[in-house]
Amino acid sequence: MPEPLKLAELKLRMQAYGIRPKKKFGQNILCDFNLLKAIVADAEIDEGDCVLEIGTGAGSLTGYLCDAAGLVISVEVDPGMFDLSRDVLAGVGNLVQVHVDALNQQGRGLNDELVASLAEYMRTGELPLLDVGTRGSVSSDSTSSPGDTRQRVPTVHSHLSGRPPRCGRLKLVANLPYSVATAVLIAALESGLPFERILVMVQYDVAEKLAAEPGTQHWGLPSLLRWCFADALIKRRVPAKVFWPKPKVESALLEILPRARRPEMQTYHKLRRLAHVLFQHRRKAAPNALALALEIDSRQTGLWIEACGGEPGARPEQLSPAVLQSLAQHDEVEPLVRKAMRLHEDQLAERAARLARRAEWKQRVYGEEE
């Protein structure tokens, strides 16, 4: 493996490439080599593993992953970082680099082409991404928001000398971009890909929310969605000083172990919709929170919650998953939740369009991205 770049050398190399860490991509590069090695050790990677890494960055973790794994597929959305890491990792023989946004157009699932290719690889050993080559470009899809320049179609650079090695296990190991960490993890669990283990670096408060168990302080929407698929544990608390640029918060190494049996997805999506509207008002009593979300009388919502086995005076996070699931499938509640969710999505789309227009204006005025 090529030696990972020390911080001083990394800064010089990035300057030569005319790039810098971008806040909008949540880029904080992990510079502690011992911690990088510890991540690989904690993930228990060996030659039987295919590892998906989301956020190649400068390639420091990627190189250590390649040392241990049979095959590494590393995804990077930033074109400058993609070019830099491709050159840094030249000579690594079991690596496929993909320049694409790991999330799909809506930001609620993994990139469809990436998922399809990984699923095919786990079934047959064939990796359709290798047929993509360098055809990728920034999507001109008419559904893209103004100013949205994220890579939607893959550009692939393969370091393999032939066919990909066959691996029997799939793992996700990454220093995740902080701006999309929760979305990526929930998307990975929902994707149907057979991840045996997920080990990721995220902000500490994000790790707390994802690892929380029912009835605990940080239990909420992220932990509920994770709980449906997997168990989670915070493995290490990581200080800000080991990153560049130095973030304002501490980080954590989060382990997620998917269960062998997935939830029934139609039932899961009903629960997810209910949780999205209910947890918008999580500091209110559950009947009031649901009444606000559905725009109906709180006395009626209280009766529904009680009929599903919940305490009417409880807050949303105090309702057990079983109560939430029963409420999500209630014949009277479910259509109202769908209607509220559509309204919520329209509001989110309008807000995203405003932010995209603002980003486009800043690009024109200041000539640079955040």
Question: Which string of b and e fits 13-27 if b means at least 16 CB within 10 Å?
Answer: ebeeeebebbeebbb
> Rounded to whole angstroms, how far apart are CA atoms 34 and 31?
9
265-281 per-position pLDDT tens digit: 999 999 999 999 999 88
Helix 33-42 vs helix 60-68: angle between axes, to the nearest 10 degrees?
A: 40
Q: Which of 203, 227, 199, 229 is CA-nearest to residue 215?
A: 227
**Class of domain 7-262 (CATH, top level):** alpha beta
Amino acid at the residue 95? L
Report which of residues 223 and 152 the model is more confident about.
Answer: 223
> Rounded to whole angstroms, how far apart are CA atoms 361 and 364?
5
72-116 per-position pLDDT tens digit: 999 999 999 999 999 999 999 999 999 999 998 777 899 999 999
Alpha carbons within 13 A on the beta-carbon side of 32: 13
283-314 per-position pLDDT tens digit: 899 999 999 999 999 999 999 999 999 998 89
Residue 201's SS3 state is: strand
Q: Dihedral sign for Cα 30, 35, 41, 46, please.
A: positive
Q: Percentage of the chain with pLDDT > 90?
A: 76
CATH placement of domain 266-353: 1.10.8
Instruction: Please report, for the chain, the start and end positions of each structural domain, with discontinuous segments joined by +.
Output: 7-262, 266-353
Least confident of 14-28, 103-117, 122-136, 253-267: 122-136
> Rounded to whole angstroms, how far apart are CA atoms 228 and 362?
41
pTM exceeds 0.85 for this model: yes
Distances (CA, A) of 224 to 195, 212, 228, 269, 275: 19, 8, 6, 12, 8
Q: Which is it for strands 251-258 and 49-54: parallel, antiparallel or unpaired?
A: unpaired
> For residue 2, is the peptide bond before it cis, meaning its omega torsion is within 30 degrees of 0?
no
Q: Which of 135, 53, 48 is CA-nearest to residue 95?
A: 53
143-166 per-position pLDDT tens digit: 344 445 566 788 999 999 999 999
- Collect all residues with Cβ–Cβ distance below 8 Å to 198 and sequence separation of at least 6: 171, 172, 173, 185, 188, 189, 230, 254, 255, 256, 257, 258
Whether 266-353 and 7-262 are alike in CATH topology: the answer is no
Residue 259 falls in which region: left (phi positive, over 0), alpha (psi -120 to 50) or beta: beta
